[in-house]
Chains A and B, each alone.
Chain A
Amino acid sequence: MKYDNAISDPRKDQNIFNMRVLASTFILLGLTSVILFRYYDLQINRHLDYVTNSNKNRIHIRTVAPTRGLIFDRKGQLVADNKPSFTLNIIPESTEDLDALIAQLNGFLSISKKDLARFSKRVKRSNRFDPVPLKYNLTEQERAILAVNRHILAGTEVSAQLLRHYPQRELLTHTLGYVGRINDREIRKINPEQYRGTDFIGKIGLEKHYEHMLLGEVGKEQVETDARGRVMRVIGKKDPVAGKDLTLHIDSELQRVAIDALKGERGALVAIDVKTGGVLSMVSTPSYDPNLFTSGISQKQYDKLIQSPDRPLFNRALRGQYPPGSTVKPLFGLIGLQYDIFDMDYTISDPGYFFMEGIKRPWRDHNSDQGGHGNGVDLAEAIIESCDVFFYTIGVKMGIDLLSEQSAKFGLGGITGIDLPGEKYGIMPSKDWKKNKRRQGWFDGDTINMSIGQGFMLTTPLQLAVMSARIASRGVPLIPQLVKSINGKEVKPQLADTIIDYDDQYWDYVHQSMVDVVHSKKGTARGISKGLSYKLAGKTGTAQVISINEKEKYDSSKIAKNKWDHALFVAFAPADNPQIALGLIVENGEHGSRTAAPIARKVIDSYLSSYNTTPELPVTSVTTSEGI
């Protein structure tokens, strides 16, 4: 107080200043402690949290698409492979003016409205650092244009990926199926982790059935990215595992023979290796090019396929259901013999008509106008000449239960178990079936219709082939299989869970009858016997598409072609040591003998000639002549 008015008192001033410096020093040290405590808290106490955050920032998992497994035919020819395809992507973050860039690109390579719409939809959804596809399947020319103008197209990049390709085009379509972009429905079913590297999935056919094997395992790369999402380096990686390669039993050459033989027709053919159950050929005509679907089919192309009256998208071999007609006669005869309904000496007389007690309306034979097959018709003759009245007679005797139960063992009325999705069951009628489906009891008349493969009965061409293979192999219930080996490892032949234990004498009898269908003078398929160097066993069939009135007569010239009878044929060869069995149908082909049988011969000829000259396949030298 004393010095209040003084100008200054140096000593006092110095003290005040020193005290303030001291106080400042304490404050300063205090504040420094606050900072250091903050850094201690961040760097020591919460260190691990921040390490996690920092790694999340920079480390990302990038997926590497596995290569889809290849598919080969039995001779090693590639039928499904992967070809590089180029996509134009835009990275929105790296562009200055997105709309201007797209306008500029549109000047170089026309971009469709569909592409643009999909692009703008995806731009909104994705991270701005991620490339968004604008145009798929760039041509070589388009890639060159983009490369030349790269300097003015900042934010664009061309990426390569592998696209499924089917070099045989329409040849194996219905068997192979195809892959396509995963759709909304599929995305809910799949494990997204497995599909992180690819946009494609098997849609139908083998591509769908073996999807899990063909897909492979997605590879993962742990990459370090900077703040803009650019990859700086790869930290760790797990290589993708390529999908497994499939080798098929199918022979592309045989497939070509079959498809050429069926040219211009709507039809289907399935040929099976009798020894293994391997499917040698599976054809449904008309076919189409599956490559259309892999890169996204245009609406116009799709409409053309779906609106065609010939229904090219329909796999007749697997899903077409037709009355088998007379092709089932050898089987029904065989069942009758085995179950002692009649014996090999049993004969009937055929006036051309069959009358059943209590029913006025007769069942006609196909040659009723010529007075039928006459007296003394035995089973062999009934098969060779395709006598209906014989089968009407024994059909009623056998009854539906026996027929139904035994036919099922030969693959009729059920799925065969082939390695393809979407197989149809056909119909092998039974009392229960009629009760459930038609709410009616079973009549003997139903059995009579069925005994010549008409009535309620429906079969797929695949089932006919299986039936014929099981007859050929004397009852070995092999399941038809398309895939011969997976990654070089043989797939063992599969047997159905059934036993067909018939007497050899009956097999011999029926086999001989079927040989005579082709080789005897009266055989319905005698037309194809000329020049045969081996014994071909077969059976013709004709299936009605419309029912003909009792008094009318079927006359193709008076009906539209799409109401003509279907022509069918089942066959196996060589008869004494069967290698190949087949079933085929030509829609509205009218006559099994004239239309279907020649197709079967072409296919069998081709197979046996290549079979006999292909050294890699074991040629069975034990060709025991059964002597019938």
Chain B
Amino acid sequence: MYKDDFVRQLNTKGGDRHQNVLQLDFTLIFILFALCMTGLFVLYSASEQSLYYVKRQATFMLIGFAGMLIVAQFPVRFWERWASLFYGSALIALVAVLFFGIEAKGATRWLNLGFSRFQPSEMAKIAVPMMVSAYLSRRIIPPKLKHVAGALLIVAIPAFLIIQQPDLGTSILVFASGFFVLFLAGLRKRYVAGAFIGSLAAAPLLWIYVMRDYQKQRVLTLLSPEDDKFGAGWNIIQSTTAIGSGGLSGKGWTEGTQSQLNFLPESHTDFIIAVLAEEFGLLGVIGLCGIYLLLIGYCMMIAKNAQSQFAQLLAASTSLTFFIYMFVNMSMVSGLLPVVGVPLPLVSYGGSAIVTLFFGFGILMAISSEPKRIGTWR
């Protein structure tokens, strides 16, 4: 049946399922456009007012946008059907990166494809929630213990492989994205509580067995940045200074002294929120959070109205993962969490993250464009 659907879809280009030739969600596109424009606007100031980064970022956004439109044209069932293949490819890529990866800054995260470089952990960010959604949507809800175990295994393998790179931040995010699917699928409260307590218990184990010295250092730095003012503490001292000195309405676009005079490190990538906070103040931060919440809220609506359990789980978990990126980034820059390399989604400079995010929104757009079958579940 799936196969038939797929073939029909290919042959008819969805003509019998959809009123439109193209699967488009203009509300989603509009919100994304607003977010991207805001991002470029801040990026221009954060990159010493050079158009170089802005142009490259805009190019990535256009590529991502095109990718999103293409992804949106595939029916949701296509992804459900081929989730395991996608997931399997991601695992192979993650294993390959450990052996053939390109090393940079003490971590091996990239695969060289000849024509382009490629980060398998980005693939995992999409593949893991997709696989868990597909796995659980065929199981009863709430999931039984063995299915929970199965889902956890699906999550744990890529998470483990990513830790080996090492990239603790991404690993935790990948793990979280899989866990969100479990949670949304009705994971029993006692398991949720157990996971919460378990993660607390796992912290010391992580500290002793998993975390590397530089990762431990980041946690210690968070607790007392003044101990090493010009070393490990520098980033966090400068970013909180940038944020704090912005005040209510900020110093004005391109007028932020912390960012323009290079006191703020990584100002165009991971720490870009500090530039926004310095130049546009608390009002700017609230405004950006507003756009994010609007986007996430709209995606949750898409999830709620989705036509299959798979679609619901995938849409909702993608939204929550998106939120977690934003939350972790804004927390680490403001000194609430240790510095882990998580960019601010669609605002921080960085091509692969943008393409991955647009890929996710492409699936969400596909879900939102599916015809409504009122009153039925599947």
Interface residues of A (CB under 8 A from B): 4, 6-8, 10-14, 16-18, 20-21, 24-25, 28-29, 31-32, 34-36, 38-40, 42-44, 46-47, 49-51, 53-55, 57-58, 224-228, 232
Contacts and interface: CB of A to CB of B under 8 A. Distances in A.
Counting from the closest, the 4 A-B pairs by CB-CB distance are A50-B244, A10-B377, A54-B245, A16-B186
Given A43-B282, A225-B261, 4 more contacts: A42-B334, A43-B246, A57-B263, A58-B257
B376 interface: yes
B141 A50 contact: no
B183 interface: yes
Given A14-B377, A40-B282, A227-B261, A51 B141 contact: no
A576 to B, nearest CB: 77
B276 to A, nearest CB: 10
Q: Is chain B's interface secondary structure helix, strand, loop, or mixed overall?
A: helix
7 contacts: A8-B140, A17-B185, A31-B323, A35-B289, A44-B248, A57-B261, A227-B263
Nearest to B265: A227
Nearest to B183: A20
B377 A58 contact: no
Contact of B257 (A11, A25, A57): A57
A4 B245 CA distance: 57
A17 B186 contact: yes
Contact of B141 (A16, A42, A49): A16
Given A14-B377, A24-B184, A226 B263 contact: yes
A43 B244 contact: yes
B251 to A, nearest CB: 9
Contact of A57 (B142, B258, B293, B312): B258
Nearest to B247: A47
B319 to A, nearest CB: 8
A44 B377 contact: no
Interface size class of B (residues with CB under 8 A): 35 or more
A346 B281 CA distance: 103
Interface in B327-353: 327, 330-331, 334-336
A11 B378 CA distance: 11
B77 interface: no
B241 A13 contact: no
Contact of B261 (A25, A39, A58): A58
Nearest to B292: A32
A279 to B, nearest CB: 56
Contacts of A34: 331, 336
B338 to A, nearest CB: 15
B157 interface: no
Contacts of B378: 10
B243 interface: yes
Nearest to B242: A54
Given A18-B304, A32-B289, A35-B331, A24 B316 contact: yes
Contacts of B320: 24, 28
Contacts of A36: 285-286, 289
Given A28-B320, A32-B293, A43-B277, A38 B184 contact: no
A227 B316 CA distance: 43
Contact of A31 (B184, B263, B316, B327): B327
A509 B142 CA distance: 134
B183 A43 contact: no
Interface in B302-318: 303-304, 309, 312-313, 316
B199 interface: no
B59 interface: no
A69 B180 CA distance: 78
Interface string B171-182: 000000000100
Contacts of B257: 54-55, 57-58, 224
A247 to B, nearest CB: 48
